[in-house]
Amino acid sequence: MAGLDLSPGLLRMARERLLADPALRGLVGGRVREVVGAREEWPFLRVDPPEVGPYEAQGWRGCTCRLTVHAFLRGARGLGPVQELLAAVAAALDEADLALPRGEVLWLSHERSLVLPEPLGPGSWHGVARFGAVVAETT
């Protein structure tokens, strides 16, 4: 039996969780996007479509997902503000109990984060937070 791609529901609910998180709202407002325009106001988050693989276990069928959230920040001379933003992203999604339109999140875990200088010059940062998840439904 092949896996079942339930990642669209995971993406939508993860984005909604990030938008609803009070700590993130204080840091990025409502700027949590899947697609970002050239004139986007900084700071903001971009949530990429998940990387998806098949998942099967006794009584379950679904997918493994790697979810990536990018954080963009300007005007910070040090790493502190972008690290704070990444920590808030991790806190909002790590082990989050997301109600999906189809299937269940069996686990959602923060795997790692990294910070890169953004090529726009000093004080511009690009943070990346990666999460692993399994989303499945009973068979």
Whole-angstrom distance, CA of residue 60 vs CA of residue 137: 6
| Nearest CA-CA partner of 92 in 67, 126, 116, 117 | 67
Question: What would you report as the CA-atom Rg of the chain, rounded to the nearest whole angstrom?
Answer: 16
> Dihedral of the CA atoms 67, 68, 71, 77 (nearest 10)?
130
pLDDT band at 89 (very low <50, low <70, confident <90, very high): very high
Residue indicated by tokens 């069928």: 61
Tell me the three state secondary structure of residue 26. Answer: helix
Supply the pLDDT for residue 1: 53
Q: pLDDT tens, 1-49?
A: 577 999 999 999 999 999 999 999 999 999 999 999 989 999 999 999 9
Note the pTM of the prediction, 2 decimals.
Answer: 0.94
Please state, in angstroms and rounded to a whole number, the distance separating the CA atoms of residues 22 and 126: 21
